[in-house]
């Protein structure tokens, strides 16, 4: 089952441009089928969905994992951001981004996916199963 996540505009642009190849999360959706399902990305502070990304792999790593410049580059964030994000986390999940389907601004909204508001972590999309884009 697909999910919705919230990201700031600069990370959405990095996904669309192909420079952000992993998404880092503190939890893993139990009902997501890796290689088929993925995530819709809503821009922080809006209800606009900018893209859908298939999740090709989920890597589980210790919250204390050692960070490299390459890891930060794949996440499109700074080492300081990762260090702050992963504090107090037992595990971190790295979602490898596969196929990306971009939507024109305003073409898809949270209401279209039957999601009430931009989620803090993630929200399941009840009307979207599998690779629908």
Q: What is the pLDDT of residues 60-107, one digit of tens each?
A: 988 777 677 888 899 999 988 888 888 888 899 999 999 999 998 778
In percent, the amount of the chain with pLDDT more than 90 equals: 56
pLDDT in tens, 84-96: 888 888 899 999 9
Look-up: residue for tokens 């996440």? 75
Please report where in the chains the tokens 């803090």 appear, as a residue: 120
Predicted local distance difference test score (pLDDT) of residue 128: 65
**pLDDT of the residue at 13:** 95
Is 22's pLDDT higher than 90? Answer: yes
Which residue is listed with tokens 């700031």? 8
Q: How far is CA 77 from CA 15, 71, 74, 108, in A?
A: 12, 9, 8, 26
Mean pLDDT of 121-128: 81
Q: Under 8 Å CB-to-CB from 80, ≥6 apart: which residues?
A: none
How many other CB atoms are found less than 10 A from the CB of residue 20?
22
Q: Give the predicted TM-score (pTM) of the model.
A: 0.90
In 1-133, which ranges are continuous DSSP H helix?
9-17, 69-75, 79-85
Task: Give the chain's length.
Answer: 133
Q: What is the distance of C-alpha 79 from the center of its chain?
A: 18
Separation between Cα atoms, residue 54 and residue 87, nearest integer Å: 27
Helix %, strand %, coil % for the chain, to 5? Answer: 20, 35, 45
Give CA–CA dist 41/95, Å, rounded.
13
Q: What is the pLDDT of residue 25?
A: 93
Give pLDDT, residue 59.
Answer: 93
């Amino acid at each position: 089952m697909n999910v919705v996540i919230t990201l700031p505009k600069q990370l959405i642009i990095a996904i669309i441009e192909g420079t952000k190849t992993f998404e880092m999360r503190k939890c893993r959706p139990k009902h997501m089928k890796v290689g088929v399902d993925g995530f819709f990305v809503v821009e922080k502070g809006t209800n606009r969905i900018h893209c859908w990304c298939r999740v090709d792999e989920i890597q589980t790593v210790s919250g204390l994992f050692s960070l490299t410049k390459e890891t930060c580059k794949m996440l499109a964030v700074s080492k300081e951001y990762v260090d702050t994000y992963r504090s107090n986390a037992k595990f971190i999940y790295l979602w490898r981004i596969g196929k990306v389907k971009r939507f024109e601004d305003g073409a898809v909204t949270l209401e279209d996916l039957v999601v009430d508001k931009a989620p803090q972590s993630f929200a399941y999309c009840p009307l979207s199963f599998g690779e629908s884009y």
